[in-house]
């Protein structure tokens, strides 16, 4: 049977999806959502995941029940493109963690088989409600705002969602945070605005996106192992500006993001809008004393600035990076005509997520702070700069980044360092060069002695917390800000942060303090 490439027509929920052979790689949150969506569209779906554990087996059974053609679990399925009922797939939708050089994906690229992110698929089928044949179901297409960056993405998209909700919009934060975007576009709530946090991985596999407003918050070395080079990582981030319709939001305090906007191919009329934690120039949002102001979205911007919020509107005294995040969020939503009073209310209503500069305990004049979300040097630098006399718990999977500047800039703040993780040579080298007088302790555990990764990780963290307690003196801050990914010893940065929280709680209880 001759195969017909129908992909150019697959730009609508109501396109010719029926019977299209498709492969989904990865059975995590986004992968499950992609498979479920393709099945609902009528595609013939095969799902592949290297992990054959109980959780994936349960997900696989669910997908088989709803109509998946086949679910293949186990590493033996990762090296070649699977057939779909005897046919070659016409489409692969991949999960963010799968690298381009992974054998199955590399083979697909070589064979000319399109590879999509879940976000690319969502952009193509976002018209489920807009073009419904049932008039009672119809709703306008959602507006899309998107943001990416090395750090601050989750806080910024949360602030944007809060501002949109305060403006009375049916809005949801989705993508790389919260619900998968494919679930959002299928939700009966029929959201008016989708606020997407996007990783460089998702952008790498996305080519059709055309955001109403898009932002790159910042750029620093990260995920070099996945992309192959820093330039490739930046190029993936830059794709968020492609065909931006209303606004390209950039960080005026970081020239690299300005360059991305200058080089972007946008829809005619789209504006470049900067944000800065200094006094804003024209077409920027920024600060005047402790007031967040807008000199972009008002007619009189040459002579006036519009007050959006004040420092007192934040639920906790804001660090510089949180002010920057709020300004970036405001710049995005102001492109959709969100009024100033909703910006202020959104900031007032926003509650920061767990594992981001989270105060865990204060006892015996020692602060215990969880910033497990600090998975790279750029994020960790922001954490370290907020404290002194730091007992720093760090380490994990380095992702190929360099730690020299991080240690050089913060050596004087370090009281001692406790290293966890299996990929810490770069940290050890930087500490030896730039903080040679700072005591360093390496936490070692035998993973073979534990039943699973979570038990192993909890043991590692308990030992690190115990060592931190021994090192602590009055006015110390014990800071978990690993500057590395977590997957060597934990299932996620959340489980790493929770292990720290639990270990500190156990320590406090053993010392006679009430358990929170």
Whether residue 283 is annotated as binding a ligand: the answer is no
Q: What is the DSSP letter of 39?
A: H
Helices (H), 101-208: 103-110, 118-124, 153-166, 181-186, 200-204
Give the residue among 64, 98, 57 at the shortest CA–CA distance from 79: 98
Residue 408, phi-psi category: left (phi > 0), alpha (psi -120 to 50), beta (remainder): alpha
For residues 429, 380, 216 and 299, what is the CA-based torsion angle, rounded to 10 degrees? -140
Whether residue 155 is annotated as binding a ligand: the answer is yes
Q: Which two structure tokens, joined as six digits, stand for 414?
A: 């370090």
DSSP letters spanning 179-201: B-HHHHHH-TT--SEEEEE--HH
Q: What is the DSSP letter of 270?
A: P
Q: What does the alpha-carbon distance between residue 445 and residue 448 come to, in Å, rounded to a whole number?
A: 9
DSSP E strand boundaries for 372-509? 390-394, 414-419, 440-442, 477-480
Three-state SS at 367: strand
Whether residue 150 is annotated as binding a ligand: the answer is yes
First and final C-alpha spacing in the chain: 65
Whether residue 395 is annotated as binding a ligand: the answer is no
Three-state SS at 63: helix
Q: What does the alpha-carbon distance between residue 250 and residue 281 come to, in Å, rounded to a whole number?
A: 13
Whether residue 168 is annotated as binding a ligand: the answer is no
As annotated, the binding site includes 149-155
As annotated, the binding site for ATP includes 149-155
């Amino acid at each position: 049977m001759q195969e017909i490439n129908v992909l150019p027509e697959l730009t609508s929920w109501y396109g010719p999806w029926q019977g299209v052979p498709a492969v989904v790689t990865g059975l995590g949150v986004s992968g499950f959502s992609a498979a479920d969506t393709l099945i609902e569209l009528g595609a013939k779906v095969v799902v592949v995941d290297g992990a054959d554990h109980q959780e994936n087996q349960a997900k696989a059974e669910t997908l088989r029940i709803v109509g998946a053609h086949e679910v293949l679990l186990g590493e033996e399925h990762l090296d070649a493109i699977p057939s779909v009922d005897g046919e070659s797939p016409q489409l692969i939708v991949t999960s963010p963690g799968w690298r381009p050089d992974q054998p199955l994906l590399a083979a697909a690229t070589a064979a000319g088989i399109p590879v999509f992110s879940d976000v690319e698929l969502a952009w193509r089928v976002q018209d489920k409600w807009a073009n419904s044949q049932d008039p009672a179901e119809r709703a306008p297409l959602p507006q899309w705002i998107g943001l990416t960056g090395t750090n601050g993405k989750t806080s910024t998209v949360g602030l944007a969602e809060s501002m949109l909700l305060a403006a009375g919009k049916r809005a949801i934060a989705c993508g790389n945070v919260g619900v998968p975007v494919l679930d959002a576009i299928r939700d009966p709530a029929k959201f008016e605005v989708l606020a997407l946090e996007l990783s460089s991985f998702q952008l790498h596999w996305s080519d059709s996106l055309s955001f109403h407003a898009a932002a790159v918050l910042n750029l620093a070395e990260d995920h070099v192992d996945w992309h192959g080079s820093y330039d490739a990582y930046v190029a993936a981030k830059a794709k968020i500006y492609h065909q931006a319709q209303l606004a390209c939001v950039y960080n005026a305090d970081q020239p690299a993001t300005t360059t991305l906007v200058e080089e972007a191919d946008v829809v005619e009329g789209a504006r470049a809008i900067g944000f800065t934690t200094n006094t804003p120039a024209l077409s920027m949002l920024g600060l005047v004393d402790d007031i967040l102001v807008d000199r972009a979205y008002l007619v009189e911007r040459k002579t006036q600035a519009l007050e959006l919020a004040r420092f007192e509107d934040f639920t906790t005294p804001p660090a510089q990076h949180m002010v920057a995040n709020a300004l970036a969020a405001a710049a995005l939503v102001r492109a959709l005509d969100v009024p100033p009073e909703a910006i202020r209310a959104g900031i007032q209503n926003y509650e920061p997520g767990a594992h981001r500069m989270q105060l865990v305990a204060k006892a015996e004049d020692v602060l215990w702070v969880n910033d497990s979300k600090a998975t790279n040097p750029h994020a960790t630098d922001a954490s370290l700069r907020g404290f002194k006399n730091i007992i720093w718990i760090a380490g994990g999977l380095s992702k190929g980044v360099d730690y020299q500047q991080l240690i050089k800039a913060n050596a004087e703040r370090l009281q001692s360092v406790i290293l966890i993780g299996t990929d810490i040579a770069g940290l050890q080298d930087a500490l030896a060069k730039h903080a040679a007088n700072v005591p360093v302790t390496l936490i070692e555990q035998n993973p073979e002695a534990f039943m699973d990764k979570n038990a192993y990780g909890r043991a590692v963290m308990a030992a690190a917390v115990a060592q931190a307690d021994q090192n602590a003196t009055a006015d110390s801050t014990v800071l978990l800000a690993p500057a590395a990914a977590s997957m060597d010893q934990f299932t996620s940065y959340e489980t790493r942060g929770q292990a720290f929280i639990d270990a500190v709680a156990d320590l406090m209880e053993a010392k006679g303090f009430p358990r929170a």
